[in-house]
Structure 1
């Protein structure tokens, strides 16, 4: 298997638990080559987001073009997008990439509860959903985006993540325009160290798609990776700490 080239468009997390830092770790551990277009710089730790500095749109596009025009891209992961202007410009640029799978994690709120997207940016998410192969909202994000009907409306697949649901079990559902393709249910892992779960999951899916896995297999492997990472969280910080890195994870699991 050749090394897949994964372009990650997302924000930087100074604490290393989420964002670009989590994305790079994940793609690397799963056998991919991570490239980045950083959309925002955040001052962030396990307690929350202390400051956000958006990167100008033209600089985001310049980073993308540098990677696309020289190295090439096998899959794209989009996370924190920074602004409505950037969301629209990124959508325009990616629409020109034919046949490249795109995973869009519609980041609105950090694990700590800090808002990472304003109303205009969330409205611009429609452009990104329309070009994505898989959109990965948690339950509050799914509701804010319009519910399960977005799979039909944008002709995409939605991984509705169940971590925000109630009870000891959580269920993730992969929903396509024709309905639910597959659902996964597991016991909830009892840990406060869940920072970066969404970023990690989306990057793991993108890496799988770049390696030629189909949607279901890419999601299945990504979920296993995240669950292992949650179980070995190192316990850093006094809030929502980062997950661990599953050094023994079998890439083809």
Structure 2
């Protein structure tokens, strides 16, 4: 089958058609940092992709020493290593969606943006700036590159409220502020913005918009402190559903449902914040 405007993500309501390798599941590529504790980053992305029936592939852009208590260290990979990994996967195996996470530096952001601009697949950008524990994961000078280079190639960008403030200066304190945040984010060129309101009080509400239509995604808030990896999980789920051909609004709703279940099933691990449970739909653990 031929590609049909793949970066648009089927915004017209039709399912997106993409080439399918016989016998292979949809292919999703994550370009992000590694979390040695397994709760976020590349590890969370691949677990999510497997749980949702897609084939996950990875480009490691940075390595972290990380556990339930925080990030003890991080090291970015050279741009040529990131480029080589990306080309190795895309040129041979191909991709039906790409998700980006921690990119650490301006050089890596610009390298990845250049690669994505030449790839005909939906792109989900999770603009990771700070870890769940408050540890910085994006150099200050990289923020301009993220705004000016990466967001314009994004099908959907998925910032939380701290990342909205970092990218735009807009600070959201209640649900009504999500619209202002979305307008400010969309001004940098992404096709859709999914503004995550998980830091607000009350129910967990997110706003998905392309500047014309709005979709409010609501879910009950679960009393569970073990939520490490939530943002990575949502973005990877969204990319997985886009790879399956769902339009952006439908993919976002399905990703929200999956992530809400993963949060509800989050479990303690180590002495700090445990991860969400990516395998919550797969039955009881043995």
TM-score tier after normalising by the smaller chain length: over 0.9
CA contact (8 A) 2:261 2:280 kept: no
Structure 2 partner of 1:200? 233
Q: Which runs of 5+ in 1 are unaligned?
A: none
Structure 2 partner of 1:84? 106
- Structure 1 residue 220 corresponds to structure 2 residue 220: no
Instruction: Report how far residue 239 of structure 1 moved.
Output: 1.5
Query: What is the CA–CA distance in structure 1 between the aligned matches of 2:156 and 2:167, rounded to whole Å?
Result: 14
Q: Which runs of 5+ in 2 are unaligned?
A: 1-19, 169-180
Query: Which secondary structure does the structure 2 equivalent of 1:40 belong to?
Result: strand
Match of 1:65 among 49, 73, 87: 87
Instruction: Report how far residue 209 of structure 1 moved.
Output: 0.4
From the CA coordinates, give the structure whose radius of gyration is larger. 2
Provide the alpha-carbon RMSD of the alignment: 1.6
Query: What is the CA–CA distance in structure 1 between the aligned matches of 2:192 and 2:251, rounded to whole Å?
Result: 13
Query: What is the CA–CA distance in structure 1 between the aligned matches of 2:53 and 2:280, rounded to whole Å?
Result: 12
Paired residues in the alignment total 247
Q: Which runs of 4+ in 1 moved over 2 A?
A: 147-150, 245-250
Structure 2 partner of 1:162? 197
Query: Which secondary structure does the structure 1 equivalent of 2:281 belong to?
Result: coil
Structure 2 partner of 1:115? 136
Instruction: Report how far residue 248 of structure 1 moved.
Output: 2.8
Query: Between Structure 1 and Structure 2, which shows a larger proportion of strand residues?
Result: 1
Query: What is the CA–CA distance in structure 1 between the aligned matches of 2:209 and 2:79, rounded to whole Å?
Result: 32
Query: Which secondary structure does the structure 2 equivalent of 1:91 belong to?
Result: helix
With the length of structure 1 as denominator, give the TM-score of the two structures: 0.93
Matches within 5 A, 1:154-193: 154-165=189-200, 167-178=201-212, 180-193=213-226
CA contact (8 A) 1:139 1:162 kept: yes
